[in-house]
Amino acid sequence: MQVQDLINAVVPKQELLEIQIERLLVHFENDAQRDAGRT
């Protein structure tokens, strides 16, 4: 069994979705800061 499957089995779907969105937002923020530092 893969880790992702295990997580899916244990964590409620809504919570999973929020975690994914949070990760995406953090990723975008980091990218934006890197871009800002480049100018």
Q: Please state the domain extents for the chain.
A: 3-37
pLDDT at 16: 87
pLDDT at 23: 96
- pTM confidence score: 0.54
pLDDT at 38: 79
pLDDT at 21: 94
pLDDT at 25: 96
pLDDT at 29: 94
Does residue 7 contact residue 16 with C-beta atoms inside 8 Å? yes
pLDDT at 9: 83
Given a cut of 70, the residues of the chain with pLDDT beneath it are: none
**Which amino acid is residue 16, in one-letter code?**
L
